[in-house]
Amino acid sequence: MTLCELLHQVAWDDIRPHIERHLPERPETKLADYKRLFELARETAPDRTTYIPRTPLTFRFYRNPDTLSCEWNDLAHDTINYFGSYVADHAFGGPLSRSLASRIEKFSLPINNSEWAAFCLWELLRYYGEDDNSDAPKVRKLFPLFRCLVFRWNDWRFRRMTRRFRMDQNMASKGDKRLQRLRRKVQQVEASILKITGREFFTLHQLPEKKINRVYELIGDRKWLLDQMFVGTPEEVARMKAVNERLLKLTSLMYRRSAALYRKVLTSSYDADSDDDVMVEGILKYSYNEESSLLPMSNDAFYGSDFCRMMQVIDGLYGYDIVAELEEIESTLCKNFDPHDQPEMSDAELGFKDELDDGTTWAEGALWHPAFKNICLCHAVHDICTHKNYSIPDLLRMNDFWCEVKVTHQHIVDQSGNRWEWWRRCTFEEFRSKLLSEAEHRPEHIRLGQYIMTRTLQLFPDEATSPLWNGSDDCFYLDERVDSYLHRLYDRLNAPDEE
């Protein structure tokens, strides 16, 4: 998921309470500043031309390893590139449009998307909302000089290449030679790809990482060239309407079917004696299986592409999880069983609502084309042609879409037979007895209170923290406080959720 997608999944009313709670920590800012930045970010088109397919960035968010706290001041974030190389010790920075196009990941952060989006706005304002005279750190000042020069050199090379391959969509007959050059370049790029992968029965996952990265770059070059060659003939516009309607219907079907199966879980299939958790997830994807997975068009020769082999290569990159992008075109959020849900609730109340397709077109990048001005492009089309290395001509020839809904029943136990989240199914005496029985096998040099606090922090990293640590029931140095500490922890674990 990119930062742009996260900000479009939430509304300002969802973010506002989190911002208001932390406003006293930054008195120089106002709530209106964050609202303006939120609206600006939602109206700004992500700039993917520089980072994709060359060097897409990923912003990672995680707990500070020194505090293990989920407070905003203790959250850490950094930036890595597509190859996993470390780029910066913080997220964001650079143009806002490029930050919106970057992927975001959170590691074991127990926060929902609303709070995550609010925290991103909180940090974004540090780079985009303050005056130039502010003492806040700027990204370019933190980059070493050599790295800045390398980035400038790569940007210049990429801009130079795009100037060479750029073409006017309304070219007259004088542009035939330019079209021929683009077509010849497409064939050269595809020949380089097949030289690495082989023409028959290749397996990408067996290739070295260096060759896989090279194939990924070449596939990105091919996408760029084909998108530049796309003119938008009446046949192509009619095919786009058909594909767009089909993907929109499949997305709707995926959400409806997921909601129906989840209701079945609520009414019949859930077994409290066996199921520790039940997950329902729906996905929509394109799968290349054979030549029937492609639908030919009359202008196939115009592009000069070997669509059959190239779609097989691209599908292999995503199908084997070789690249960072997900294979899924659309997916529902993985819905876990909630005993408070009722079958009579609506699909939206159960968490199965398509909030991305709200009647607003997703025409961005190459999809922002005059031929599509009368088509409201759905998010699935946007994902295929913007977030993945499929070109518009590739999309128009796709003929094998898979809509899958999976229900997973999980039964999880430890060596003693205790089930997942066993503390919710036992009394305090059973809770105390289990931890004390484990403490009997601790190393001799570790005291009882020290072991109990260390072990509970491992088991319950979110609950076994302040105010239990350094509080009146802290038993790290006093073994006689073990019972009171465990009683406080047990009450906190079984307290009702804030939601």
How far is 447 from 439, CA to CA, in rounded Å?
9
Q: What is the pLDDT of residues 175-225, one digit of tens each?
A: 577 888 899 999 999 999 988 887 654 567 778 888 888 988 999 999 999
What single letter denotes the amino acid at residue 391? Answer: S
User: Average pLDDT, stretch 24-44?
Assistant: 85
Q: What is the dihedral of CA 350, 356, 359, 361, to 10 degrees?
A: -170
Long-range pairs for 78-82: beta carbons < 8 A, 24 or more residues apart: 81/55, 81/56, 81/57, 82/55, 82/56, 82/57, 82/58, 82/324
Is residue 103 within a helix (H) or strand (E), and if so which, with residue range? Answer: strand 103-107
How far is 412 from 409, CA to CA, in rounded Å?
10
What confidence score (pLDDT) does residue 243 get? 96
Q: What is the pLDDT of residues 249-297, one digit of tens each?
A: 999 999 999 999 999 999 988 888 888 889 999 999 998 888 889 999 9
Q: What is the rounded radius of gyration, in angstroms, for the C-alpha atoms of the chain? A: 27
Contact 255, 354 (CB under 8 A): yes
Q: What is the pLDDT of residues 37-89, one digit of tens each?
A: 888 888 887 765 544 444 568 888 877 655 666 777 778 787 877 656 667 77
SS3 106: strand
Contact 347, 353 (CB under 8 A): yes
Provide the whole-model pTM. Answer: 0.57
Q: What is the pLDDT of residues 391-444, one digit of tens each?
A: 999 999 999 999 999 999 998 888 777 777 788 888 999 899 989 999 999 998
Question: In sequence order, what E strands does 287-410 have?
Answer: 328-331, 335-336, 401-410
| Residue listed under structure tokens 């140095």 | 477
